[in-house]
Structure 1
């Protein structure tokens, strides 16, 4: 539960509001079908409210659900406070300077990243975004988006660098665990100087208490990450979500069976990878190659 609602981010308030609404529904012994019939709304609307997917939560919807669930005055006050934040504040990625540079499918990722208590990332080709340097990011975007103007590239780079502030947030400290393929250390992105600076930065960040970086060496052979990169978000103590990104777009997976497959894959990758200290040694050795 958020102790200081007024200082919380809209993304965090939407997430907590959804959790509380879902909890109240379960305590009331009601199915989602029963609720939407009483509320006279679509099933997707209730789903968005319970998963925190709405950018703005209307007070009238919260009040109606509180009536249905017979919430206490204290519960109503708290939930209305969450809803008020979503109306009066905006997440940083909703601001005019960033909005044009963020694809609609990526907004879901940013919301998850902003509220997760833990983030587990497997990456086979790139240094994970939260650990990238500005010049490394720029080299990637200049190659991937050759038709964009310099100003558009600048905005994309700024979005990536702003995202990294999540590693320093105080409201919900983030524990970040990354497993990377050894190829990430060997593949040159940009000039040798850009790559060397990136690997040096990776080594520095890997020593932070809240960050854990492991490397899957080539000699490990076949491994669960060979099907592609993935991100696991842990929201609070119980809920986990998988985010997958591909050339045609992105998808979010919430079903327990699907999430379990990726949790198992990440655990296997951590076992196959060398430990954090040995990984740090591999990272430092890679600096010399660039």
Structure 2
């Protein structure tokens, strides 16, 4: 379908092919001649507007001098998966603003999340998620709210309960633990969920207390996604009211990595964080 949004995987493969071609000193015309096509096809492949056959991919990688068989197979797997419909399309849901984020979330092997004001999405309860969605947009229908909450719960199941869950490092601001989203009963359940989530073998949870004062995260929430293969560079996601900003340059990644590391140093240790959550839970009794 020519009007379809290219998947995250296709865009990543496109970026890798462009970089490999330029590193090899080859022109689009030379690449096109190699696989017997017009240069516009190479441009469309490198702009993620067109997929590439596995045979053409292997031929171009040979032409670009890629000799690492393991890396070649990683890119072939990336091309094969780039043809799959995104997770939201499989759910029968049209939410393009979330599609990229969820693709990153599902393919990452290391997720670092800083949330100063809200409970991180992967550890929210259905009641908390519902109150949050309803509170942030009163115009949504009940059916739409149900749909969005269902997607969030499906994300949790897919990411945390899969065969190889990613390492998830969450830093919560104390304000997120005190804001009465949905009321006292909802918050009791939510803090119980946080405590249970902190026991998950792949989850590390820390809290930045109010007493920390000024710290590196005062500019707001962000998520850092890390991936297991060289075909995926790290990605920073910064959400706002109208969409999500994706940052991928080395300088941007370094800045947010240093910010997260600083926050980990500022935050309470995991055991102290759990103690604080347990104490704050009693304020909702």
Question: TM-score, with normalisation over the residues of structure 1?
Answer: 0.80
Look up the match of 1:266. Answer: 260
The question of whether the paired residues in 1 share the 8 Å contact of 2:17 and 2:46 is answered with no
Per-residue deviation, 1:69: 2.7
Look up the match of 2:243. Answer: 249
Look up the match of 1:8. Answer: none
Look up the match of 1:181. Answer: 173
Per-residue deviation, 1:85: 4.1
The question of whether the paired residues in 1 share the 8 Å contact of 2:45 and 2:52 is answered with no
C-alpha distance in structure 1 between counterparts of 2:187 and 2:147, whole Å: 21
C-alpha distance in structure 2 between counterparts of 1:169 and 1:48, whole Å: 32
The question of whether the paired residues in 2 share the 8 Å contact of 1:98 and 1:159 is answered with no
Question: Residues 28-59 of structure 1: CA distance to partner in whole angstroms, max 9, x if unpaired?
Answer: 7236xx3477442489745555xxxx7x8331
Question: Residues 83-135 of structure 1: CA distance to partner in whole angstroms, max 9, x if unpaired?
Answer: 34443x43321125322xx2x23211111111111000100111000000001
Look up the match of 2:36. Answer: none
Helix, strand or coil at the partner of 1:225: coil
| Pair 1:160–1:37, CA change in 2 (3 A) | farther
Q: 5 Å matches for 1:270-285?
A: 270-285=264-279
Q: Does 1:166 align with 2:159?
A: yes
C-alpha distance in structure 1 between counterparts of 2:73 and 2:255, whole Å: 39
C-alpha distance in structure 2 between counterparts of 1:29 and 1:58, whole Å: 19
Q: 5 Å matches for 1:125-274?
A: 125-164=117-156, 165-170=158-163, 172-236=164-228, 239-274=233-268
List gaps (5 residues or longer) in structure 1. 1-10
| Pair 1:267–1:79, CA change in 2 (3 A) | closer
| Pair 1:78–1:188, CA change in 2 (3 A) | closer
The question of whether the paired residues in 2 share the 8 Å contact of 1:12 and 1:115 is answered with no
- Runs of 4+ in structure 1 deviating by more than 6 angstroms, as ranges, are 74-78
Look up the match of 2:281. Answer: 287
Question: Residues 63-96 of structure 1: CA distance to partner in whole angstroms, max 9, x if unpaired?
Answer: 6634643668x78787556534443x43321125
Q: CA RMSD in A?
A: 3.2
The question of whether the paired residues in 1 share the 8 Å contact of 2:15 and 2:46 is answered with no
C-alpha distance in structure 2 between counterparts of 1:236 and 1:219, whole Å: 36
| Pair 1:146–1:280, CA change in 2 (3 A) | same
| Pair 1:218–1:42, CA change in 2 (3 A) | farther
C-alpha distance in structure 2 between counterparts of 1:36 and 1:119, whole Å: 39
Per-residue deviation, 1:241: 1.2
| Pair 1:48–1:235, CA change in 2 (3 A) | farther
C-alpha distance in structure 2 between counterparts of 1:80 and 1:222, whole Å: 47
Question: TM-score, with normalisation over the residues of structure 2?
Answer: 0.81
Helix, strand or coil at the partner of 1:250: strand
